[in-house]
Structure 1
Amino acid sequence: MPIVAGNNMNSTRKAGRERLVLFHRPIHNAYGLTLQKFICDRPFAARVAFSYILLHTSSNLSSRTSSTLKYFNNMPGYPKLKLIDRSAFPPKIVLPDVAGYTGQFFDVKLNPNWKEAEAGSYACVHHGRKRQEFFDTGFGQMASLAYPDADLEHLRPSMDFILWLFAFDDMIDEGGLRDNVDGTKLAVDITMDVLRNPDTAQPKFKIAASLLSFFQRMRANSSPATIKRFVDASDLYTQAILQQTVNRSVDDVPTVEEFIELRRDTSAVKMVFAVLEYSLGLSLPEEVHNDPIIAELSLCGNDILTWANDVYSFPIEQARGDTQNLVFITMWDKQLDLEGAMEYVDQLTRRRTQDYVEAKKKLRSFGPELDAQIQLYIQGIEYWVQGSIDWTFMTPRYFGAEVENVRDTGVVDIMAPIAPSAPIVVDV
């Protein structure tokens, strides 16, 4: 299939359009200059190595560097988005029609047990603003699109997992632990402890306790291989989230290629695909997951879903001052304006969709019993991808009250800066 621009994408930009003005990394004070210049003037490998030092030796840092970290973790003026000039943004943008072309290859389906599972999941959420937010946002509907073939016994825990995942992601992204390296590391350590020591862990941290509740039910009726994949994927996710927090705290911007590698883990898609296996009662051996074609299908699904999310969430993420988004990374790394970056990511996503289609044609047989499970798994990947993309236009999470208008026209306003969530304390 030829790669063409989407119906909602104006792919012809004026030849003389000025490119987005990109600022050099800012200088806050002498300490900020010392740390930021050290990191930003070095190759990515050196930046990662220094980030590792920050993460794993913070207790032994010099007072000068410790002061710098404290400064970064408490910087005023959020949301900052200091690396680009907001005034160069157009007031509106036309979003690529990702759903239009992925929908040619992937189906969407809603689990018939949706309402019953949702009632149980929401009943366990504490009363107050967060519970109402879950209702209004429709996370239960999201889970029912993601796991449409799960029976009620498996859908309810899977839905609880989705609620946990969005809550954890929002805590990291929207301000609760934003730019707070020490707080994020503590949250990550507690989270992984409940998965590695589920029989002894008694977390006071509510989000970790919610994950433990789901995990205990998953362990009760899932294969050891699926459980191991979930724990391993969770480790990749939490470590990537921690690295992303370091990147945010020092305004570090990787290349597009480097960011894609990190984003494959910060997306948590490897976790949701492990839960997909659980939701369907599958028991796929490592032989299947290590097969190059199966691995490519999973990776393509991860990329398509994640890049589409970065496109659709860009308007609100830039308003929060978040630069850890593939659209922004493309603007910075490829020196493109906003419309050019949107088109670039759209073309990447189209090519990845075609990669999926071509890889699927090469799928070999593993024998009748495994083939039946593999077909369910692959269909589940496709449901996840299309369900997630379509849900973007069913929820107010990304476009607020304008969601129906954005769905119909593809046009979205570039939001003004919005206030962050209140900082949180991680209970030990």
Structure 2
Amino acid sequence: MSPAMDISVQHFKLPDYLAKWPWSRTLHPNYDELRGESASWIASLHGYLPQKTLDNYNPCLLACLAYPQRKKELVRLGCDLMYFYLVYDESTDVADDEEITRAEDVVRKVLADPLSLSGSKHFIGKVVKRLREQAGDLVDFKASSNCLDHFIANMNAYTKAIGQEAEERKNKHLRGVEDYLLLRRDTGAARPALALLEFGLELPDSVLYHPVVAELTDITIVLLAIGNDMHSYAYEHASGLDGHNIVTAIMHEHKLDLQDALDWLGVYAEARVHRFLELMSHLPSCDSMTDSNLKIYIDGLGYWVRGNDNWSCEIRRYYGSGGLDVLKTKSFTLKSSK
């Protein structure tokens, strides 16, 4: 093998910042049923994603780890939402500006009016129509429900941010860590997924936007971004898509090599975990029903963080067949061409 084709394999240690996270891996009891239903639905739309991509990603596993104690109808919506993320992410990674703008416009119009014909022939439009109808059914026409509005607003923010990410990727623009996380809060797709936690709980905005609850939600969004970027780094590095990744941002801003950047990330993430657990003792108190439902919401945040970490290692997308070893040893290999 010539020097130009030589492949070096380096081993790196991942930060174990969830060592003290009190929520354990929990899988929804209807996982097999939900996976079958959701997979059949996405296949019925005759999309363009290869079956191998769908299998390697296993969106329903993520939803069933993220919403392990919620009713089946909500988790089914979560499964379908994870499929939407996969479809949207894969398509926008290779789309031009016009195609991305078109997709964003379709999502916005269908969310505003699921009966709109604007997205009826667009694959993404068909997916979003299903999500919007499911979300509407879960609200049960309660006038007090604000969760649907939150879900729609967060979905629109997600697609808009994806367009911004694509523009920056094209221009090879690298952000600093905190600036990166500002955009990543939306490109990470956590906000719409966390909005589903609100469904059925009837939590008023005065509770959801209470400074403590709002900070807990924001910390969760950051931890999900960190977990996703950390586990996807090797995959994105191999695909040349690691420009929009917090690990790259750390290396660029702080002039660190990969292992030092991962260590830096571990310290950063542990501080957020510590803050989250500290805030748990300062939750607002209203009436007994609202307090009970708020606990369900906070547990939902906890399960999302743990579920995302486990899912990232249990699927084949990021580590192939070696993900369970990564989960156990907190180490991975990175192949790079010399």
**Could you say whether these structures have the same fold, taking a TM-score greater than 0.5 normalized by the shorter chain as the test?**
yes
1:229 aligns with 2:145: no
Give 2:237's aligned residue.
318
Give 1:248's aligned residue.
169
Deviation, 1:199, is: 2.5
Amino acid in structure 1 at the alignment position of 2:25: V
**Paired residue secondary structure (1:376):** helix
1:213 aligns with 2:130: yes
- Closer, same or farther in 2 for the Cα pair 1:262/1:354, shift >3 Å? same
Deviation, 1:114, is: 1.1
On the 8 A contact 1:94/1:410 being kept in 2, the answer is: yes
1:259 aligns with 2:180: yes
**Paired residue secondary structure (2:23):** coil
Of 254, 273, 277, the residue aligned with 1:357 is: 277
1:191 aligns with 2:112: no
Q: Distance in 2 between matches of 1:248 and 1:291?
A: 35
Q: Distance in 1 between matches of 2:224 and 2:326?
A: 19
* Structure 2 unaligned regions, length at least 5: 1-5
Amino acid in structure 2 at the alignment position of 1:290: Y
Map 1:157-196; keep pairs closer than 5 Å. 157-173=77-93, 176-177=94-95, 180-196=96-112
Q: Distance in 2 between matches of 1:248 and 1:221?
A: 37
1:119 aligns with 2:36: yes
- Closer, same or farther in 2 for the Cα pair 1:377/1:111, shift >3 Å? same
Deviation, 1:286, is: 1.1
Give 2:3's aligned residue.
none
Q: Distance in 2 between matches of 1:333 and 1:407?
A: 28
On the 8 A contact 1:193/1:201 being kept in 2, the answer is: no
Q: Per-residue displacement from partner, 1:167-188 (whole Å, max 9, x unpaired)?
A: 2122233xx32xx323212211
1:401 aligns with 2:318: no
Deviation, 1:208, is: 2.3
Deviation, 1:347, is: 1.0
Give the root-mean-square deviation of aligned CA atoms. 2.0
Amino acid in structure 1 at the alignment position of 2:131: F
Deviation, 1:132, is: 4.6
**Paired residue secondary structure (1:100):** coil
Q: Which has the higher contact order (CA 8 A, sep 6+)?
A: 2
Q: Distance in 2 between matches of 1:121 and 1:189?
A: 25
Map 1:18-417; keep pairs closer than 5 Å. 91-102=10-21, 105-126=22-43, 130-173=50-93, 176-177=94-95, 180-203=96-119, 204-222=121-139, 223=142, 224-278=145-199, 281-322=200-241, 323-416=243-336
Deviation, 1:237, is: 1.0
TM-score if structure 1 supplies the norm length? 0.71
Amino acid in structure 2 at the alignment position of 1:138: N
The sequence identity of aligned pairs, in percent, is 26
Moved over 6 A (4+): none
Q: Distance in 2 between matches of 1:116 and 1:249?
A: 41
Q: Distance in 1 between matches of 2:299 and 2:217?
A: 11
Deviation, 1:148, is: 0.9
Amino acid in structure 2 at the alignment position of 1:351: A
Q: Distance in 2 between matches of 1:414 and 1:144?
A: 29
Give 1:55's aligned residue.
none
Amino acid in structure 1 at the alignment position of 2:17: V
TM-score if structure 2 supplies the norm length? 0.89
Look at both structures and tell me which one has the larger radius of gyration over its CA atoms: 1
Q: Per-residue displacement from partner, 1:322-367 (whole Å, max 9, x unpaired)?
A: 2100000111111111111111111111000011011111112021
Deviation, 1:395, is: 0.9
Q: Distance in 2 between matches of 1:270 and 1:324?
A: 18
- Closer, same or farther in 2 for the Cα pair 1:410/1:258, shift >3 Å? same
**Paired residue secondary structure (1:112):** coil
* Structure 1 unaligned regions, length at least 5: 1-86, 418-428
Give 1:46's aligned residue.
none
For these two proteins, the number of residue pairs brought into alignment is 322
